[in-house]
Chain A
């Protein structure tokens, strides 16, 4: 016996399922910035599993050791280890040169928001310092939008610093420092503003198309921002934090600056001691002021004159021995147009800090699922690398590829289909400039590995399917060290 009442829900739902197909068929896609309407697929989507594979293929991995990395590998293998520790790499394959036992080894690690908060670099520094010694977090900027997020050092500062970065495309004449920033003491501060993601895109355009001409870059919004005047002298304060990747105290401290005048000075306060006033050297070139305390301290405060617009680049916390990894994140940055760090200044910095490796890990602000052509990017990246090579001489450069990043395709997340193409472009730029290359995308697990990172327990990546969590960043640091080890054992290419 059929019962009509209980049939009604089925009728309503069956008809609804059919009408959904009709609705999907009638309502067209509507592109707009606010809330784009997508064309719904109903019956066709039910029948065929919608999986769009990336049409691009990845470059093949290097079968041989990369010659560009060799000086770094040799130095690392010659580094004396902490008593009782085995070196990360025992020897470099077929090594002939005998490097005299070096005292320090230093890495500059540039990236975008994915290393903000000392992600990736902190576990890397920790692992290297555990093995080879070293005491300090390396180079620090004066102000930072993510100071509260960084755990390896406690960093605070006054508001009245002007901070110029790669993102300020209207102040080309002022060279940036090694951190990618230049900081200028000011008697005022500007109202806060969120970084506009579209500005980052326009930077890429400005860079790849018109970077030769200065007027191509339109004036930024900074002119229209309200200034709030203050009486306070600008200051910056650092406190040592004794956690993995940090250090329990400050030993050797150096201040980097330029453009001081005869009357310029800095007031230095170690711990709670009496302030020491030191005069700065008047010069337009890079000056290094040793402000190390007589015995290790836990807190450093620097005060500058608010009406003295000198260029302050940062403070380095290190020691005379061991390994140092400098964390240089620039949010929203494409990794191009390093020319903003002028050649001479870059050269002076590389010399003063004695770098052994410069890492460039970019691509997150370049990738877009619809991109099909990265030729402009390749040539801009080549220009950036050549600029660094010209200034840094024989310091090895390592290009780290774009990591996996998932985007919404239909209603599912999957690897952005352009990533293999972007990685091929990065690899091509590395090959044309003879610098080293590491494919972190493959190391993560290749296509859709970001989904595994997000779903890992504990999560290795955030729900934006782009940024790593602290645990995920530790994983990337592990992979980085595995890459270094593998390279040291890889066979040499026979010429």
Chain B
């Protein structure tokens, strides 16, 4: 008994080697405890906020240890700057506080994420040998920084008024479902919900459960399995694989990153829904897009709309003529690329998408682009362009990325395909399941929801139990941190 209590107590503390992830057993029990006590507080909005705030801070502590203090500090600073901007008498004063907020947000993000990248670039340019710094990247910093930043920006652009209670603001910043990997929730979207009377109906429960457990399957069965069993190996040493394997590796990565990232977002949206909160949709079957413009309306929607509203439009958007619009698009995408990680690969990836968006804008003005057959071809072309860009996104270096392209174009060895299928039957099946489920009609999703909705409660629980059993069977190794964590 003592042993059991001891192991439970030690599990409650932060373990740097086992940061808390949604697909851990610990999280399941954490969430059960949260939902068990939630009905006691859900209709007393002030206690409810305290409850969820404390639970969220504990969640972040389990994920990142003492960085929970950084989270609170950045929340406090943005809270103060928000009200300073609001209260400022003159435009120049407002601008001063806004610049301070940009300096803080960009500075803290820059320090943790880009210091070594900048040192490395300086060393390369000038042949110096400045030492790298040992900086640990706090989980989710890219997400919560953009979230707090949207708050000061919205106040500056007079879209919202500041929150009066720091408790409410800290809750908005730290709400655990979306805290570490999105969706990036705007202040204007979330704040009105904080003190709203919350409801939960059967439809919402069914939708949320489908989102959570389909998300876990996406993450656990497709993304993790493909990553560790095939994709990582190809991208680590492309020269060891033939062109056809490299190509499969690229396709597999396309479905892996989608399942990984969208699975996580789906889980976040589902968890929030079970607590009565509404988070915006973040992925909408992106590989169904007919063109790159549409792809960015379906992929990581909360980020692309953030960049649109706070970068592209303030830069002038499309209001200052075509050349300026193209420049704005390119700048937005390059910075968007850099958001994903500190390396020139991400910059190049962003630039590729920027150029594609520019070509797309020109192309879409042509009549031929509206033909049905051209639209269908467009899905194929768009998907392949996105895959091509993923090569630069995933490859550790430029050299590796070119090597992959070189292997595909010069050493294809199509005759190896049957052998590959023979050696990797499960990988092939998982890739196939991944793409088939991605390209299934949207109406099927609603069918699953209706089906789940109509099940008696024990059958619902049994379905979930079976999914947990499947996840256990497929789970590979220690949990791999979610790809977007370090972004």
Chain A contacts to B: CB under 8 angstroms: 1-20, 22-24, 27, 34-35, 37-38, 40, 46-49, 116-117, 146, 148-149, 191-194, 408, 411-413, 451, 458-459, 462-465, 469
Contacts and interface: CB of A to CB of B under 8 A. Distances in A.
A40 B473 contact: yes
* B contact residues, range: 35 or more
30 contacts: A3-B39, A3-B43, A5-B199, A5-B200, A6-B38, A6-B39, A6-B42, A6-B198, A8-B200, A8-B457, A9-B205, A10-B36, A10-B39, A11-B457, A12-B205, A12-B464, A13-B35, A15-B457, A17-B28, A19-B462, A20-B468, A20-B469, A34-B425, A37-B473, A48-B7, A49-B7, A192-B416, A194-B419, A411-B477, A463-B228
A67 B477 CA distance: 43
Given A117-B239, A463-B236, A9 B4 contact: no
Contact of A412 (B29, B209, B236, B477): B477
A19 B43 CA distance: 31
Provide the main secondary structure of the chain B interface: helix
B426 A13 contact: no
A232 B246 CA distance: 29
B275 to A, nearest CB: 8
B201 to A, nearest CB: 7
Given A6-B39, A408-B476, A12 B209 contact: yes
A192 B244 CA distance: 13
Contacts of B28: 13, 17
B359 interface: no
Nearest to B480: A463
Contact of B43 (A1, A16, A412): A1
Contacts of A1: 43
B237 interface: yes
Contacts, number: 144
Contact of B236 (A24, A46, A469): A469
Nearest to A331: B240
B69 interface: no
Contacts of B43: 1, 3
Contacts of A10: 32, 35-36, 38-39
A8 B461 CA distance: 11
A12 B461 contact: yes
Given A3-B43, A17-B28, A412 B201 contact: no
Contacts of A462: 232-233, 236-237
B239 A148 contact: yes
B206 to A, nearest CB: 10
Contacts of A411: 472, 475-477
Nearest to B232: A463
A7 B39 contact: yes
B458 interface: yes
B415 A23 contact: no
Given A37-B473, A49-B7, A8 B205 contact: yes
Nearest to B34: A10
The 10 residue pairs across chains A and B that have the minimum distance between CB atoms: A15-B461, A19-B465, A149-B239, A16-B464, A10-B35, A463-B232, A16-B461, A148-B239, A20-B465, A5-B200
A314 to B, nearest CB: 21
B469 A412 contact: no
Nearest to B4: A47
Contacts of A146: 239-240
B25 A46 contact: yes
Contacts of A4: 39
Interface string B226-264: 011000110011011000000000000000000000000
A126 to B, nearest CB: 18
